[in-house]
Amino acid sequence: MKQTTIWLALAAIAIIACSVFAFFGLNGCIYAASLLAILSLLMFHRATSMPMRAIRTGMDLLKSQDFASRLAATGQKEADEVVTLYNTIISNIKAERLKKLEQDNFLSKLVEVSPMGIAICSFDGEIERTNPAFDSLSSHALLLTLASLPDNGQCTIRPEATQVLRCSRLSFMDRGFKRPFFLVERLTDEIVRAETSIFNKVVRTMGHEVNNTLGGVVSVLETLAAVNSDDAEITAAIDSCRTSCINLGGFVKGYSDVVKLPDPVTETVSLNKFVCDTLPFLSELSTENITIETDFHEPSPSVEIDPMLIHRVLVTAVKNSVESIGDADGRIVIRTAPDILEVIDNGKGISDETAKMIFTPFFSTKHADRGLGLMLISDILRRHNATFTLITAPDKLTRLTIRFNH
């Protein structure tokens, strides 16, 4: 409507100009036509330049990634159509961009706090980004396993005695291409709970049946001993049987003590002082051929522990070291570091395969001990949410390393 009005006005002006020029005897048609052509060109230039200027301004805003600015209306129909279209597109782009940023931020937070280890790779398969859970689980053995996994592959590994991990290699679409990522899930807690449940059930059943039977057997043996007190040979045989029954009861009680272990009551403890207070008792466990030394970090680390339970861990660890050294000249070092307590010995050591199994219920390389000491250590430390390893390093030293996590 606006353009029609303009053209009618131009036609009226041309007619008036033609009449004026004809009145003065001039060639009015020529001048009127020229005037009309000039005005038309001016109007055409205005009609095309304003949309082009709006497009150029919009392109400059897009190049600068400015999604907040909007083009203003010009009052010219074609230009305003371009302005309206541009402003609509930019509003949609801004809304989608904001939605994507919010989703990316939400997913990033999920990845950061996830208890599952996550590693995002480049298109070439190289790890580029990891979350804290992955960093805490990462080891040379884990990285080698991940590197060998095929697409959509999965496997379970035990990189050390206290860890069982399930590893998966998956992928997602990124700019039209598959981008790999790894998931690492700790199965340790689930397996430990299952093993502990089975162990507790077996011990309770065994303890109930054995103790009930032994009580009756020992009572009968004592009666027989009293009846045959005048026969030394029979009395000796009965006493031997009675001693075996009592030893069997003690053996069952050892397992029962592990099952009945109390929950830790923690307090802040100076690690150096704690070790010093325990040293006199530890020295009694040693023999003349073994020296017990300390390697303290200064200042003394402070940890949240149950002193009574960790005392049992330290005593059991030193006792195992003494047994490992045997009759040879040996050395046991108790070392402290921030959040770390370590018992080191130069005993016989343990193989890599044994190191992966030593904290498993009922596993032991010493038939008489039945692995109760290591089971006790494992249970106490897990109740403290501590991580721990027991390995023999290439330097032939065996280290029980305990890390107390805050």
DSSP-assigned states of every residue in 36-97 = HHHHHHHHHHHHHHHHHHHHHHHHHHHHTT--S--PPP-S-HHHHHHHHHHHHHHHHHHHHH
The pLDDT of residue 90 is above 70: yes
- What the block records as the tokens of 368 is 């008489």
Give the angle 396-400-402 at the CA atoms, nearest 5°: 145
Nearest to 348 by CA among 377, 366, 328: 328
Cα(238)–Cα(228) distance, integer angstroms: 9
Classify strands 163-174 and 127-130 as parallel, antiparallel or unpaired.
unpaired
DSSP line for 187-207 = -HHHHHHHHHHHHHHHHHHHH
DSSP lists the bridge partners of residue 347 as none
Looking at residue 368, its pLDDT comes to 46
Confidence of residue 18 (pLDDT cuts 50, 70, 90): low
Q: What is the pTM of this model?
A: 0.51
The pLDDT of residue 14 is above 60: no
Give the angle 332-337-343 at the CA atoms, nearest 5°: 20
The pLDDT of residue 272 is above 90: yes
- What the block records as the tokens of 320 is 């195992």
Whether residue 115 has a cis bond before it, omega within 30° of 0: no
Q: 67 phi and psi, to 5 degrees?
A: -100, 5
The pLDDT of residue 118 is above 50: yes
Q: Considering the domain 267-403, what is its CATH architecture?
A: 2-Layer Sandwich (3.30)
Cα(331)–Cα(343) distance, integer angstroms: 11
Nearest to 305 by CA among 336, 348, 350: 336
> For residue 183, how many other CB atoms are within 10 A of its CB?
17
pLDDT digits (tens, 9 = 90+) for 152-170: 898 888 776 567 788 999 9
For the chain, give the percent of residues with pLDDT over 70. Answer: 67
Looking at residue 263, its pLDDT comes to 79
Residue 224, CB half-sphere, CA atoms under 13 Å: how many? 17
Which range among 191-205, 231-245, 312-326 has the greatest average pLDDT? Answer: 312-326
Domains of the chain by residue range = 2-108, 114-186, 195-259, 267-403
Q: Which has the minimum average pLDDT: 137-146, 253-262, 367-376, 390-399?
A: 367-376
In the three-class reduction of DSSP (H, G, I as helix; E, B as strand; rest coil), residue 149 is classed as coil
- What the block records as the tokens of 404 is 């107390």
pLDDT digits (tens, 9 = 90+) for 29-67: 555 555 555 555 555 555 556 566 666 666 676 666 666
Looking at residue 369, its pLDDT comes to 46
Looking at residue 1, its pLDDT comes to 47
393 CB-near residues (< 8 Å, 6+ apart): 399
- What the block records as the tokens of 344 is 């080191």
pLDDT digits (tens, 9 = 90+) for 347-400: 888 876 666 666 665 555 654 444 567 777 888 888 888 888 888 888 889 999
Phi-psi region for residue 30, left (φ > 0), alpha (ψ -120 to 50) or beta? alpha
Cα(241)–Cα(52) distance, integer angstroms: 109
pLDDT digits (tens, 9 = 90+) for 164-187: 788 999 998 888 888 999 999 887
Q: Which has the minimum average pLDDT: 35-49, 107-121, 216-230, 347-361?
A: 35-49
Cα(333)–Cα(352) distance, integer angstroms: 22
- What the block records as the tokens of 189 is 């807690």
- What the block records as the tokens of 367 is 């038939």
DSSP lists the bridge partners of residue 118 as 183
